[in-house]
Copies of this chain bind each other. A is one copy, B any other.
Amino acid sequence: MPAEESEMTNAAASHLFPFDLPHRAGRLLGRLGAEHVRVHAITNAAAQNLTANLLLAAGAVPSLTTAPDEVPAFVASADAVLVNLGTLDTERRAAIPWAIAAARSGKKPWVLDPVFVHASPPRLALARLCLAGCPAILRCNAAEFAALAGAASEPEAVGAFAREHGTVVALTGAVDLVTDGERTLSIANGHPLMARVTAMGCAATALAAAFAALEDDAFIAAAASLLAVGIAGERAAERGKGPGTFPPAFLDALHALDSDALSTQARIS
């Protein structure tokens, strides 16, 4: 099939997808590099390297400092902020309120990733305080959601939680669920190897923050990031031979991702 015809076909197909998501994800990826979007990420020690490399592979510019006295200046020159609660040491615990305050003060979107919040009571308490700071997006898995919400992650409960907190919930699992309490999407992309690599979810949340810097509709930003990460994961699994070669292949695939690939492989409902 000639390239032009293929593009037309995929463009047509894309409009069949809810919210035209594949094309919007592709345009967001294209803009990340062109506009040098900067994301300040307070994230856990196992995720810092992969998070920075995911942002760079996608075209964005990361910064990672967790020092409380430096975070406000870094957030001031960033376009979006990621707050990930993993390896929550004294420094991160002190820095997070400043990061949230600086994001709110600068009217910049910030994204919350309440890693392992079900395993640590003090972390759960901090996560609840963070939620009061109005994250644009909350990215979590079912166990983390259940701890935060005090309810199982049924779609209705997730929607109600999103409405109550005025946030978009991106609940990841074998099938991802994204909802702002009014609109809901399911994304079935991804690959089981993604669960055999540390910090894949944490790093993916950074892409949601980068997209939220460009896209005012946080529901679209969250869904587009999960779609891009899921499809890059599928492409990496085609090349990868196991969990060790998967992350390098994933970053290569994300770097090469375009609207055409997103439209062809998207499994959204």
Chain A positions within 8 Å of B, measured between CB atoms, are 44-46, 48-50, 52-53, 56-57, 62-67, 69-70, 73-74, 77, 86-91, 93, 116, 119-123, 195-199, 241-245, 247-256
Contacts and interface: CB of A to CB of B under 8 A. Distances in A.
A196 B119 contact: no
Contacts of A62: 198
Contacts of A50: 49
Contacts of A89: 65-67, 91
Given A66-B89, A247-B248, A248-B248, 12 more contacts: A45-B45, A45-B48, A49-B49, A65-B116, A65-B120, A70-B88, A73-B121, A242-B256, A243-B255, A244-B249, A245-B249, A245-B251
A247 B57 CA distance: 12
Contacts of A70: 88, 120, 122-123
Nearest to A241: B252
5 nearest A-B pairs in the assembled complex, by CB-CB distance? A244-B251, A242-B252, A52-B198, A244-B248, A244-B252
A250 to B, nearest CB: 6
B249 A77 contact: no
Contact of A73 (B77, B120, B255): B120
A91 B248 CA distance: 31
B242 A74 contact: no
A56 B88 contact: no
Contact of A48 (B46, B52, B196, B250): B46
